[in-house]
Amino acid sequence: MKLLNLQRRMARAVMTPLTNSERMRPVAPDGRSMRAVASQIIKPNDRLTSFERLEIYNRQYWFRVLAAFAEDFPGVRAVLGGRRFDAMAKAYLIDCPSQSFTLRNLGSRLVNWLEKHPSWAGERQNLALDMARLEWADIEAFDGLREPSLKPEDLAGVNPAKLQLRLQPYVSLLALRYPVDELLLEVRKDSGDLDVASNTFNERHKRKRASAVAKLKPSPIFLAVHRLEEDVYFRHLDREEFAILSALHAGKSLNAAIESPWRSSPIAVADRAAQIEKWFHTWSALGWFCRLEKSPKNEKAAPH
């Protein structure tokens, strides 16, 4: 058997879902006996059969990915409750198995998957989606790529009508309906105590807090999730501020982005220029913009 074929068979066997009693299944997904599969890819020893040796890898794989997934999404767990979350995690990882060398990417498809499988969250679907978006953005912000930051001198002589500013890859813009940032901070705060009795109390507190948030009337919340000096922050944005950043992120020119958010805005026309200047100063100070790429769209204005 060629090495690549052996590796693929081993991966399929190891990633086969466990039984309800957390043991290896007797039948492989293709209908073959798992004992027959095991005998072809792993040898027995003086203590364990091929099936028993393969089962060790099978069980450890699932214990590890489920633990990592729960660690990445404590907020979603608080929203759904422990039992439903654990069942949902298994269903998600069966549909969306790991395709990366790193466990960091396990939840990369969770938001899209939850949108297609609303039964897992029921009446809390929108809250669960908001929380999943926030927690994935948090992961992206923590170790996402950082490109060289834009400097003031990079803008000298650039035509604003053609200028396109790019946000750092680690910055996420979220339009939410519930204050999940506050809920997530509470969940994390309650997760620090390893005492069993304290954990039981904390689980109840998380469920109670999640229930309270779920009962709130949905209201637009605009958030930027970003990194500053290796720490992740959730920054609330004004609606107009969010609209400008979103337009820039979508590839619109600076002029077009600035003109987009003012319909029905409560900010007085006379105050808008100063407000825009203040926002750009903050975004630049936080290093949210990437250094300009040399392209015709960002070329200097032609002399008159």
Average pLDDT, the chain: 91
Between the CA of residue 288 and those of 136, 145, 158, what are the distances in Å? 19, 12, 19
User: pLDDT per residue over 91-139, tens digit each?
Assistant: 999 999 999 999 999 999 999 999 999 999 999 999 999 999 999 999 9
* pLDDT tier for residue 276 given thresholds of 50, 70 and 90: very high
Residue 217 CA, chain-centre distance (Å), reads 24
Sheet holding 221-228, edge to edge: 172-176, 221-228, 231-236
Q: Is the pLDDT of residue 159 over 60?
A: yes
Task: Supply the pLDDT for residue 60.
Answer: 97
Report the candidate in 166, 66, 164 with the shortest Cα–Cα distance to residue 106. 66
Predicted local confidence at residue 154, as pLDDT: 82
Strand, coil or helix: 251: coil
Residue 251 tokens read as: 């590839």
Which residue blocks in the chain are alpha helix, DSSP H?
Answer: 3-14, 34-41, 50-72, 74-80, 82-95, 110-116, 125-143, 180-189, 196-214, 239-249, 254-259, 269-285
Which has more pLDDT, 65 or 194? 65
Neighbours of 273 (CB within 10 A): 10
pLDDT confidence of residue 203: 78
- Provide the whole-model pTM: 0.89
State mean pLDDT over 152-179. 90
Q: What is the pLDDT of residue 156?
A: 78
Max Cα–Cα distance, the chain, nearest Å: 87
220: Cα within 13 Å, side-chain hemisphere: 8
Please state the domain extents for the chain: 1-66, 73-143+180-206, 148-178+218-304
* pLDDT (tens digit per residue) in 170-209: 999 999 999 999 999 999 987 765 454 456 557 778 888 8
d(CA 65, CA 85): 14
Q: How far apart are CA 147 and CA 249, in angstroms?
A: 15
